[in-house]
Amino acid sequence: MENLPILQDLDKPRDHCGVMAVWGHPKAAELTYLGLYALQHRGQESAGIVSSDGEKLYPHRGMGLLGDVFRDQSSFQQLPGSSAIGHVRYSTTGSSSLANVQPILVNTKDGPVAIGHNGNLTNAVSLRAELEKKGAIFQTTSDSELFVHLIARSNKPTLPERLQEAMLELKGAFSVVLISRDEIIAARDPHGFRPLCMGRKGDTIGFASETCALDILGLPYERDVKAGEILSVSARGMESLQYAEPNLNLCVFELIYFARPDSHIYETSVDKVRRKLGKILAEEHPADADVVISIPDSSNTSALGYARQSGIKYEIGLIRNHYIGRTFINPSQFMRSYNSRIKYNPVRGVLEGRRVVVVDDSIVRGTTMKKLVGMIRQAGAKEVHIRIASPPVRWPCFYGMDYPTRKELIAAFATPKEIEEFLGVDSLRHLSIEGMLASTRDKPTNYCTACFSGVYPVALTDPAQLAELVEPDKAWAKAELERVLRSIE
């Protein structure tokens, strides 16, 4: 914890990955870059693109933000061809190192193949051990490498069929894009945990984690890649292979926090869902207050929904510094003491003498929220009422979100009263699971709610994962929380 980067928000699950693919454009790599730019919120640790000119695959990958990896136009001269795939990553499985940067590129007996993966495989440990026993040599610690090993072992005649064989062995969450010399493929697991959409204009086809990436390219959204579908594009045109029956468990947290509000995912507007989350939150948990504020930016829309439903005025009470980059990574202890103040600053004129409702999308550890409450009080707020547009996060995610372990989730070991006291607020209320699901478009049973309910739709078998589910030791967890708090003070 001592090396905790300043400004890393411990109150949020860290983002995971974003994928992008472009077919049928002479500047495919540049379009992929632009699409990834719109997906940068999904992963900031590393980025990469692999292109094809029909003869060879060309990779360019590196650590850092897209702007660090693709510094100038010369990067694209090394990425020729009319098809490309790209990936932005936050490591959920496997360490943060250059070897794990995606797309992962391998040579198979049928030619080179590269893959970009968003999600987490739940049977990665056992499958890897099994393949190693059969002689497979892994080059990365990432679970995504399993795809390419399984594809390379398949004797099926086409890449979509080889991928199908691979995917039938894999369990968990995966939305993937693949590229070979003459084909690109987009595919989703049968549960559809992670989003993946498709757009088209003329001969150019794009696949992306979110529609905001298609928007930037001017590719009108056409449809989602279906759960359990392998969609391939080649000189033969577009071909769909429904390799497994859909059994939907869409990640509801994508709608609450991860996806951009200007995106459509799961065929629904993220903006509309977030407004409704705020509206139902106001119905379930009204507050006697003068002003509603959000924690920018992810809770802006749900705060608007809360304000509209409650009739309490929405104001901008916290300003977020948008120019924070990697400059502040590895700060001194002295600089870390300014942590929350560098990221947020309160607007005294909005808060002073007021009873304030603070709407946020989620609380994971509670440390950042505690800091913000202190700042809001210092700015003169008379009362602080926290309203959270999701239920308490009590369980870790094994499907692609990097939640802390159970003992680091404040709602997993502290009572609501204890959390109120820890945060120093007048009241704290969460949206119910029913209220959350009522905000969405699909049937409630089509969503994964495991991190709120503890009901895991894909069975966990890995002993390390099962160990994360045990009841946390309360005294230890509280002491640890205080230690984390001190380390960022």
Q: How far is the CB of 294 from ligand SF4 (least distance, A)?
A: 21
| Part of the chain binding ligand SF4 (CB under 6 A), chosen from 288-296, 318-326, 428-436, 445-453 | 445-453
Write the burial class of residue 403 (CB in 10 Å: 0-12 exposed, 13-18 middle, 19+ buried): buried
Q: Is 448 in the site for ligand SF4 (CB under 6 A)?
A: yes
From residue 191, give the alpha-carbon distance in Å to each of 25, 121, 427.
Answer: 31, 12, 37
User: Contacts with ligand SF4: how many residues (CB under 6 A)?
Assistant: 11
Q: Which of 307, 364, 450, 458 binds ligand SF4 (CB under 6 A)?
A: 450
Query: Smaller CB distance to ligand SF4: residue 43 or 199?
Result: 43
Would you say 388 and 452 are in contact if contact means Cβ atoms under 8 Å apart?
no
Helices (H) and strands (E) in the chain, counts: 20, 24
Integer Cα distance of 448 and 462 in angstroms: 19
Integer Cα distance of 446 and 440 in angstroms: 10
Query: How does 215-227 read in b/e, with b if 16+ C-beta sit within 10 Å?
Result: bbbebebeebbbb
Q: Is 410 in the site for ligand SF4 (CB under 6 A)?
A: no
Residue with tokens 């490591």: 91
Tell me the per-residue interface mask from 373 to 402 with ligand SF4, x by CB under 6 A, - otherwise: ------------------------x-x-x-
| Part of the chain binding ligand SF4 (CB under 6 A), chosen from 321-329, 363-371, 417-425, 444-452 | 444-452
Q: What interhelical angle do 159-169 and 145-153 show, nearest 10?
A: 120
Q: Which of 449, 458, 472, 488 binds ligand SF4 (CB under 6 A)?
A: 449
DSSP letter, residue 38? H
> Which residues, numbered 243-302, are part of the site for ligand SF4 (CB under 6 A)?
251-253
Query: Smaller CB distance to ligand SF4: residue 312 or 397?
Result: 397
Q: Is the peptide bond before 220 cis (omega within 30 degrees of 0)?
A: no
Q: Which of 17, 251, 397, 451 is catalytic?
A: 17
| Part of the chain binding ligand SF4 (CB under 6 A), chosen from 276-284, 384-392, 426-434, 448-456 | 448-456
Q: How far is the CB of 311 from ligand SF4 (least distance, A)?
A: 31
17 is catalytic: yes
Query: Smaller CB distance to ligand SF4: residue 208 or 448?
Result: 448
In the complex, the residues that contact ligand SF4 under the rule CB under 6 A are 193, 251-253, 397, 399, 401, 448-451
